[in-house]
Structure 1
Amino acid sequence: MAEGLGGLLEGVKDEKEQIAIIAKAIEKFRFENDQSGYFFVYKKTVNVAHPVRKDLIGTDLKDFKDAKGVHYVVELYKQAKNGGGFVFYDFTKGGSNSTVAQKNAYAALIPHTDDIWISTGVYVDTLAENVEKDTKGVREYFSSSFFQALVISIVLLILICPFAFLFYKRLNVSIGTISRDLFHFFDFINYKTNEIKLSKIAGNDELA
């Protein structure tokens, strides 16, 4: 929007005429389903165009701050001077008699003007609604994928358990055989017995 307005103002030298063009351009522009999105314009810290808060036009808001102590106009002006940036602050939603809500605003200088900048923002509660709506499909997908993965895991566990049990049983028998034969062998070499036996090897695994 800043770049678009800058294109309209190219060649317009009179500042009052510039502000009139800007004010007309943003007057009826709205976004968001609840129409809470709009643009507002300042010359340094003086409001020069505002489609919702007409009472602010012509007022220097450098000392204005929200309930949390944020000098939002000064901070937005700083962001605009630095090439554009965001500021969080509390502001009325929908007009001077509406409720106060947290807002995340972005500010940028308008080209071909002398320190005139434009800003717009999204109220955090509206943003939360958008995030909820936009991520619904993703959350449903992951929920469905998790359920499928859980079912597959249970089925695999049921299938694997008998094999694991058989493996453990065979391993236990093999270890028992080795242990018994080793003790018998040690008894033989220590002259505790004169008898030695050869065990039958059954199987082709590592222990066998």
Structure 2
Amino acid sequence: AREHAAHFAHPNATVDPPLLFEPPAPGSYELPPISWVEDHMLVAEDGGPAPLPGLGSAQVGVVSFIYRGCGDASGCPLALAVLRRLDRELAKWPELAAQVRLATVSFDPEHDTPERMSELRELMQPRGDWRFLTAASERALRPVMQDFGQDAVRLATAEGEPSALLRHVLKVFLVDGTGAVRNVYSAGFLDWRILLNDIRTVQAAR
């Protein structure tokens, strides 16, 4: 567990690798809806109810699913590092930042309690609207996972008992104020510069 936690102890990890292509200028391309998600009620880091995405009509959201026990540096820790950098960059664009919400959702509510998500908030030190959510139970989370198309399977121990590890594919979702998913980012495509351009593109088309 200590090894896993170490990945989350260094949020200043390098997240500026050379891009393999030159991203198009914001507003010079379109991001048509890929799918649609509904609002779901989850649990905020203070223990209160929190809607996801829960966006206003003029807002855009960046939703990532993680769990704090993840030991894969190219998985959940990468998502957190990229969102942290995006949060810092958005702070340079106050008018744009006011229209953006980041949401990090744990798909391991058994271990990632509101208290642990609050600890994660302290670690990330957000400058903008960045929410850290969990669920009352795995059963309560299931409709959210299905709606977004995010899978996570709990692995078994050598004795066949459920372990603390989950097998999952990293996904980050860009959602607009109507609930339309405008882009989905995997590990090889997750970059704060692409996210920022896409956010500006979606907002410019409103």
TM-score (ref. length: structure 2): 0.25
Q: Which has the higher contact order (CA 8 A, sep 6+)?
A: 2
- Greater Rg, structure 1 or structure 2? 1
**Which structure dedicates a bigger proportion of its chain to strand?**
2
